């Protein structure tokens, strides 16, 4: 289908159209046209949307046919995009700078006006939005921990959008509330918490889930925080590792604890928190007169994919009576793999856990679970009993009104796509997927280890799907290791990345970390990625970087 590009034609067009034209359109929609037999495909029976406006869609009288046909057109655009996404030969993106997008590209004007645009323009806008976006499901998109486009998850999200409801009460989201309970129970079981006691909530992302962990830990120890604020508390301290995600610090800033009270614990070369360093740091903080409250251990760090030694950390938390949180936003999925779950051994001793199914498990964005071992704590910490939502005289069991557990009021339905994917894959389907991601990481690791053009940031078999490396262009290969080489090496990854984005052939992340200058971080969480895509990426990095 080819839609003419219609821009700014609204004023010149007559909103009313001749009755016979409308009639023809309707007959096409109803599938009654005799033209059908002339060997044309279904797609050729298009309505001309150039004179039709959204006001003629449902709930407009007789809007059913236009609505149906319009949504089918949208779906055709989406299907075409999905196919392109999975086609390794297509580009990952067609890069334009912010000012170019703001100024408007051919037929694509992002400005808003007082006048309505015809549906044809809306369809063009949909196509252009996808055209100038990034195909995060493309087999060569390795840019973030979340990638891929699961078809079942996608269907789930389409349904969620159509249901258009809110998680605050059972009353208006009965099925989704029950699904949230089922999913939380399942995750508790897998963690090893048993199914009855634990609690939790799906939140808008891992950072908010980590914020919940500090919030609940603080409330558990000092329930007066809720009414009196931090003024009633002693100076508290939180502990994270050097390699932990920045969200715990962000939570400390938000919660009025202050970033200075988040104490960083040293890691080993592999990026794992050193338990003896944790203990040393706790004792040091105590000597300073602060009250150690909370440790966030990481199961799958963002950059290195490292797993902190959870059992050792749990021992220390028990010894000093600290809340133990495990940020398994990225690595939590490994619990579904019988081959790899041992890496999270000890997670069952945590008081709370962040686990993002939108990462390793491939659920569409967003889907993040905050799980807490003590039932009722979330509710006690956050409830304010707003009477307009949580009426005490409802006819059903009000324990299913989850809104008062949360720091939100309205809450997006993030569970259905996850539930549907679990139905469609079964637990075993997730296991197969995750094992394959690990195999891809091992393959890349071995390729890099035997290549003279690359250096690994740390030489160890991947524990998660992260593989960190430098590309060493020919110009740097003869320079001895030292500040001069480091300085030049630091510029290589950004330059290659910039060229890669300009060409749109692949996307991979880079960053400096600690003493390590800019290096690439590959991660695998995309079911579409094959070994040949890894081969391509390495060749592409060389192609783009060999003259640097």
Of 291-299, 340-348, 438-446, 493-501, which segment contacts its own copies by CB under 8 A?
493-501
Of 141, 154, 87, 216, nearest in space to 358 by CA: 154
501 binds its own copies (CB under 8 A): yes
364 binds its own copies (CB under 8 A): yes
Burial of 289 (0-12, 13-18, 19+ CB in 10 A): exposed
152/314 with CB nearer its own copies: 152
Task: Provide the 10 A C-beta neighbour count for residue 317.
Answer: 24
**How far apart are alpha carbons 144 and 366 in whole angstroms?**
14
Cis peptide before 59 (omega within 30 of 0): yes
The full DSSP string for 439-471 is HHHHHHHHHHHT-SSEEESS-S--SSS-EEEEE
298/312 with CB nearer its own copies: 298
**How far apart are alpha carbons 523 and 468 in whole angstroms?**
9
Minimal distance in Å, beta carbon 77 to its own copies?
8
**How far apart are alpha carbons 447 and 69 in whole angstroms?**
50
176 binds its own copies (CB under 8 A): yes
113 binds its own copies (CB under 8 A): yes
Candidates 24, 26, 181, 309; binder of its own copies (CB under 8 A) is: 181
260/311 with CB nearer its own copies: 260
Candidates 84, 192, 255, 447; binder of its own copies (CB under 8 A) is: 255
Candidates 21, 269, 460, 498; binder of its own copies (CB under 8 A) is: 498
**How far apart are alpha carbons 45 and 35 in whole angstroms?**
9
> Site residues for its own copies, window 390-419 (CB under 8 A)?
391, 393-397, 399-400, 407-413, 416, 419
Distance in Å from the first CA to the final CA of the chain = 44
3 state SS of 265: strand
Minimal distance in Å, beta carbon 90 to its own copies?
13
> Which two tokens mark 240?
């994270």
Q: Are 525 and 360 in contact (CB under 8 A)?
A: yes
3 state SS of 482: coil
99 binds its own copies (CB under 8 A): yes
512 binds its own copies (CB under 8 A): yes
Minimal distance in Å, beta carbon 419 to its own copies?
7
Minimal distance in Å, beta carbon 313 to its own copies?
23
Residue identified by tokens 């195999």 is 439
Q: Compute how many residues bind its own copies; rule: CB under 8 A.
A: 175
Residue window 144-173: x/- pattern of binding to its own copies, with contact defined by CB under 8 A: x-x--x-xx-xx-xxx-xxxxxx---xxxx
Minimal distance in Å, beta carbon 312 to its own copies?
26
Residue window 39-58: x/- pattern of binding to its own copies, with contact defined by CB under 8 A: --xx----------xxx-xx
68/268 with CB nearer its own copies: 68
SS3 per-residue string spanning 51-106: HCCHHHCCCCCCCHHHHHHHHHHHHHHHHHHHHHHHCCCCCCECCCCHHHHHHCEC
> Site residues for its own copies, window 5-44 (CB under 8 A)?
10, 31, 37, 41-42
> Site residues for its own copies, window 258-297 (CB under 8 A)?
258-261
Of 269-277, 363-371, 447-455, 480-488, which segment contacts its own copies by CB under 8 A?
363-371
Residue identified by tokens 């290969």 is 477
CA dihedral (398, 400, 404, 409) positive or negative = negative
20/164 with CB nearer its own copies: 164
Candidates 191, 217, 444, 507; binder of its own copies (CB under 8 A) is: 507
Cis peptide before 366 (omega within 30 of 0): yes
Task: Provide the 10 A C-beta neighbour count for residue 46.
Answer: 19
Candidates 4, 197, 228, 446; binder of its own copies (CB under 8 A) is: 228
316/468 with CB nearer its own copies: 468
70 binds its own copies (CB under 8 A): yes
Candidates 28, 179, 273, 361; binder of its own copies (CB under 8 A) is: 179
Candidates 427, 439, 446, 535; binder of its own copies (CB under 8 A) is: 427
**How far apart are alpha carbons 230 and 255 in whole angstroms?**
9
445 binds its own copies (CB under 8 A): no
528 binds its own copies (CB under 8 A): yes
Please name the residue ranges forming H helices in 115-205.
119-131, 151-163, 174-191
352/368 with CB nearer its own copies: 368
257 binds its own copies (CB under 8 A): yes
Of 19-27, 199-207, 337-345, 539-547, which segment contacts its own copies by CB under 8 A?
199-207
Helix, strand, coil in percent for the chain, rounding step 5: 45, 15, 40
> Site residues for its own copies, window 318-357 (CB under 8 A)?
none
126 binds its own copies (CB under 8 A): yes
Minimal distance in Å, beta carbon 306 to its own copies?
14
62 binds its own copies (CB under 8 A): no
191 binds its own copies (CB under 8 A): no
Candidates 117, 296, 352, 465; binder of its own copies (CB under 8 A) is: 117
93/316 with CB nearer its own copies: 93
The CB-based long-range contact list for 153-156 (8 Å cut-off, 24+ gap) reads 153/362, 153/363, 153/364, 153/417, 153/418, 153/420, 153/421, 154/82, 154/364, 154/417, 155/417, 155/420, 156/364, 156/416, 156/417, 156/418, 156/419, 156/420, 156/421
């Amino acid at each position: 289908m080819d839609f003419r590009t219609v821009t700014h034609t609204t004023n010149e067009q007559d909103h009313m159209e001749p009755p016979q034209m409308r009639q023809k359109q309707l007959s096409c929609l109803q599938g009654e046209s005799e033209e059908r037999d002339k060997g044309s495909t279904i797609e050729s029976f298009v309505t001309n949307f150039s004179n039709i406006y959204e006001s003629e869609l449902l709930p407009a009288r007789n809007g059913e046919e236009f609505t149906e046909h319009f949504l089918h057109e949208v779906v055709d655009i989406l299907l075409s995009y999905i196919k392109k996404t999975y086609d390794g030969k297509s580009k990952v993106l067609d890069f334009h700078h912010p000012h170019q997008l703001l100024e408007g590209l051919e037929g694509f004007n992002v400005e808003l006006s007082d006048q309505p645009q015809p549906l044809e323009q809306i369809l063009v806008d949909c196509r252009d939005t996808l055209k100038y976006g990034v195909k995060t499901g493309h087999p060569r998109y390795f840019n973030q921990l979340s990638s891929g486009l699961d078809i079942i998850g996608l269907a789930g999200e389409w349904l969620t959008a159509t249901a258009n409801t809110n998680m605050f009460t059972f009353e208006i989201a009965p099925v989704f509330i029950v699904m949230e309970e089922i999913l939380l129970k399942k995750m508790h079981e897998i963690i090893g918490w048993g199914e009855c006691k634990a609690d939790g909530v799906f939140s808008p992302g891992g950072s908010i889930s980590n914020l919940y962990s500090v919030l609940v830990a603080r409330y558990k120890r000092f329930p007066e925080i809720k009414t009196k604020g931090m003024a009633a508390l002693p100076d508290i301290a939180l502990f994270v590792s050097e390699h932990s995600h920045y969200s715990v610090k962000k939570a400390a800033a938000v919660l009025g604890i202050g970033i200075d009270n988040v104490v960083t614990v040293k890691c080993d070369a592999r990026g794992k928190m050193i338990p003896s360093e944790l203990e040393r740091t706790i004792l040091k903080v105590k000597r300073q007169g602060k009250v150690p409250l909370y440790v966030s251990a990481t199961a799958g760090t963002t950059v290195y994919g490292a797993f902190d030694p959870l059992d050792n950390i749990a021992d220390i938390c028990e010894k000093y009576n600290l809340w133990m949180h495990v940020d398994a936003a990225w690595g939590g999925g490994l619990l579904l793999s019988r081959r790899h779950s041992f890496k999270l051994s000890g997670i069952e001793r945590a008081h709370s856990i962040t686990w993002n199914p939108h990462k390793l498990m491939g659920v569409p964005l967003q889907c993040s679970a905050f799980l807490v071992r003590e039932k009722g704590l979330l509710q006690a910490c956050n409830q304010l009993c707003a009477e307009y939502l949580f009426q005490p005289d409802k006819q059903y069991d009000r324990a299913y009104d989850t809104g008062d557990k949360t720091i939100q009021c309205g809450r997006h339905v993030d569970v259905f796509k996850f539930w549907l994917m679990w139905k469609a894959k079964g637990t075993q389907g997730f296991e197969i997927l995750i094992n394959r991601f690990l195999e891809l990481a091992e393959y890349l690791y071995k390729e890099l280890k035997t290549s003279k053009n690359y250096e690994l940031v740390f030489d160890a078999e991947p524990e998660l799907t992260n593989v960190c490396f430098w590309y060493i262009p020919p110009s740097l290969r003869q320079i001895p290791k030292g500040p001069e080489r480091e300085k030049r090496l630091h510029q290589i990854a950004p330059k290659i990345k910039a060229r890669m984005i300009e060409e749109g052939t692949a996307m991979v992340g880079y960053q400096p970390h600690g003493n390590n200058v800019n290096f690439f971080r590959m991660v695998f969480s995309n079911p579409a990625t094959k070994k040949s895509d890894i081969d391509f990426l390495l060749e592409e990095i060389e192609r783009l970087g060999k003259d640097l």
